[in-house]
Amino acid sequence: MKISQILAVILALISLSLPACGKREDQTESEDHKIVVTSPKAKDVIVTERYVCQIHSRRHIKVRAMQNGYLEGIPVKEGQPVKKDQVMFKVVPILYKAKWDAELAEAQLAELELKNTQSLFNQKPPVVSANEVALYEAKLAKAKAKAKLAEAEFNFTEVRAPFDGIIDRQEEQHGSLIKEGDVLTTLSDNSLMWVYFNVPEARYIEYNKTPAKEKEEQKIELILADGSKFKEPGKIGAIGTRVNNENGNVPFRADFPNPDHLLRHGMTGSVLIHKTQKNAIVIPQRATFEILDKRYVYVVGKDDVVHQREIKVQRELEDIFVIKSGLGVDDRFVYEGIRQVRDGEKVEHEFHPVDQILAHLKYHAE
């Protein structure tokens, strides 16, 4: 084949490809200018509020010595669960036992003296007066009271658990000389945990206005420090009586059962409160834009003219905004192509149903 023929074939191929290339460019340009319009959606949404929290045992006390002396025995170990009235510490009881025995002997002596005086009073004629009998009765009552006091002091040499719980670190060891009031350990009742967190004043007012039935339906979860979710659900147990003037927060307490004793006093985490907001107005986040900390959308009128409108966002959820004010279900707004429109201009657009858009947000989010 001659060179001239080869050149002719090449030119023919180039001429055939030029219209196709131009067509693709025109299609791309047309697609770039496609504007999609939709409308807000009124639907029930689950709103989640997250608060940093401190986890406390329902009962967490310091166990103190009730008598002076040496620690004779410690029948429990650190971290051990104990039952109510179980002995945790023993103080040398010799002196207290001797005092108790002495007081018991005094009470027995006073009882014998009273019986002898009553026998003399019952004789005919009485040998002693009624006042003398009353005097010995009072003496016996005093002796019995002192004996009971000595018994109590003796019993205080054994430090018992006031409730079921878990023992913390032992502050004193076997053989230590302790004084009345010294801290021996701490005891925690971890069967139910009190989780404290702070709620902004506005959220507190909103919660207070919520009907009782909706409060009961709220789902409360606990996220632990490692990011895992605690398996037991919680419920609001108490609300503080005053607002912190420094940060405007109100203290809340959520109660969580702790059957496996996973939670311990002093742990941290986050409380999640899930509640349903009925008939909320929602729009895709990508349909909005910000100017000087204010959020706007382009609303399309009946004459297909777009106007910039400020909106107030009540809550931010995944891919969508819950609108507080600025839009209604009858409005139409630009969903795609907001960078290609200008306030006050008439636009050509396609209307897509909002349900279709909401169903595919995760796949088409910019």
Whose tokens are 């809340």? That residue is: 252
Residues 196-222: tens digit of each pLDDT:
999 999 889 988 888 888 888 889 999
Q: What are phi and psi of 248, to 5 degrees?
A: 70, 25
Per-residue pLDDT band at 365 (split at 50, 70, 90):
very low
What's the CA gap between 180 and 18, in Å, rounded? 101
| CATH number belonging to domain 31-45+279-364 | 2.40.420.20
Contacts 24+ apart (CB under 8 A), 335-342: 335/36, 335/37, 335/38, 335/284, 335/286, 335/287, 336/34, 336/35, 336/36, 337/33, 337/34, 337/35, 337/36, 338/287, 338/289, 338/297, 338/298, 340/32, 340/33, 340/35, 341/35, 341/298, 341/306, 342/306
CB contact at 8 A, 220 and 186: no
CB contact at 8 A, 204 and 72: no
What's the CA gap between 91 and 85, in Å, rounded? 16
Amino acid at 284: P
> Cβ neighbours of residue 214 under 8 Å, at least 6 residues apart?
275, 276
Report the CATH architecture of 49-57+189-278. Beta Barrel (2.40)
Reduced to 3 states (helix: H, G, I; strand: E, B; else coil), residue 366 is: coil
Residues 251-291: tens digit of each pLDDT:
999 999 999 999 999 999 999 999 888 889 999 999 999 99
Residues 175-200: tens digit of each pLDDT:
787 888 889 999 999 999 999 999 99
Distances (CA, A) of 225 to 22, 143, 229, 335: 59, 60, 9, 39
Residues 64-123: tens digit of each pLDDT:
887 777 788 788 898 899 999 998 888 876 567 667 678 888 888 888 888 888 888 888
Tokens in use for 185? 């350990």
Domains 31-45+279-364 and 94-155 share a fold: no
> Cβ neighbours of residue 153 under 8 Å, at least 6 residues apart?
67, 96, 99, 100
94-155 CATH choice from 2.60.40, 3.30.70, 1.10.287, 1.10.3470: 1.10.287
| CATH number belonging to domain 66-92+157-181 | 2.40.50.100
Kind and range of the H or E run holding 117 = helix 94-122
Residue 124 has pLDDT above 90, yes or no: no
What's the CA gap between 335 and 352, in Å, rounded? 9
Parse the chain into domains and list their residue ranges: 31-45+279-364, 49-57+189-278, 66-92+157-181, 94-155
Residues 128-151: tens digit of each pLDDT:
888 888 888 898 898 888 888 777
Q: Is 44 exposed, middle or buried (0-12, 13-18, 19+ CB in 10 A)?
A: exposed
Nearest to 263 by CA among 60, 49, 83: 60
Residues 44-61: tens digit of each pLDDT:
888 889 999 999 999 999
